[in-house]
A and B are shown apart, each in its own frame.
Chain A
Amino acid sequence: MVKHISVDTTVLLDPQTAPAEIDRCLTSMMQQSRPVYIGVPVDMSHLECDASALRTAIPRALSPNDPQLEEEVLGKLRKMMEQSKNPIIIVDGFAARNKLQDQCRELSELTGFPTFNTYMGKGCIDETMLNFGGLYTGAGTYEGVKKAVESADAVFWIGNVQVCTMARTSGSLLTHADRFQHWRVHGSGG
């Protein structure tokens, strides 16, 4: 069952392969930002192994985006930004998880779009900015904020976390999920 909740697993049975097994798991852990499982038998902890791999840092840079996909996504986003009359930005939980704090602020400042956050996105965007509009939590949202968010004609939802409190409320943005377009690309800053 542990394989369903881990991006890589190993049980270290051979001191010859143990360093490479550990490095492979840690690399997957960093690149996919998800848990890994490393089993260490009691007698392995006392054996010596080759330490030369310690001189090489675990790679943390993400592999580059597919250039064609990136261009397509940027084109669509630019078109939406230019054509919409009432666009907004929502900064959600996975924005912070992907260390997009600086990029979110830059986008918000450059566009001047009204910017909102969610409870999982708390702390990712500066709430004292002049164009900060409030906290969006689906049906439980403060009325003025709810109206502002749900009357937008384009929503740039960064780091979207699809949580039930937002999905199951009438009138909330996520009830219009068929109108959503999802992209998984990352910024050049990593």
Chain B
Amino acid sequence: MTTFGPGELSAYCSHAGAYAEYVPVAHVVGYPGRMSSLSQRRDSLLTILGPAMENHTLMHHTLGTGEFGFVFRDHIVVET
């Protein structure tokens, strides 16, 4: 179990090792909140965190682009 962004990136080395050596591992990643329509009660702390993904909030642990799916993209843009 890791955090979103830096936490999961640090775990990818062992995650890839488990892939190479056929070890069943469930990597559970804690994400920021999803979207405003499904966010929690107004009095909750989660209201502050809740709409982050839908609103493309600039958050700690992100690349500062407002995008939350960056770990699913390929990151090598030029290769030789």
Contacts and interface: CB of A to CB of B under 8 A. Distances in A.
Contacts, number: 99
Contact of A5 (B19, B49, B53): B19
B27 A35 contact: yes
B18 A35 contact: yes
Interface residues on A, range: 20 to 34
B12 A1 contact: yes
Interface string A1-25: 1110111010101000000000001
Given A1-B73, A2-B12, A43-B40, A30 B29 contact: no
Interface of B: 4, 8, 12, 15-16, 18-19, 21-35, 38-40, 46, 49-50, 53, 69, 71-75
26 contacts: A1-B71, A1-B74, A2-B8, A2-B71, A11-B69, A13-B34, A30-B24, A32-B22, A34-B24, A35-B15, A35-B18, A35-B24, A35-B25, A37-B27, A38-B28, A39-B30, A40-B28, A40-B29, A40-B31, A41-B31, A42-B33, A43-B46, A43-B49, A43-B50, A46-B46, A97-B23
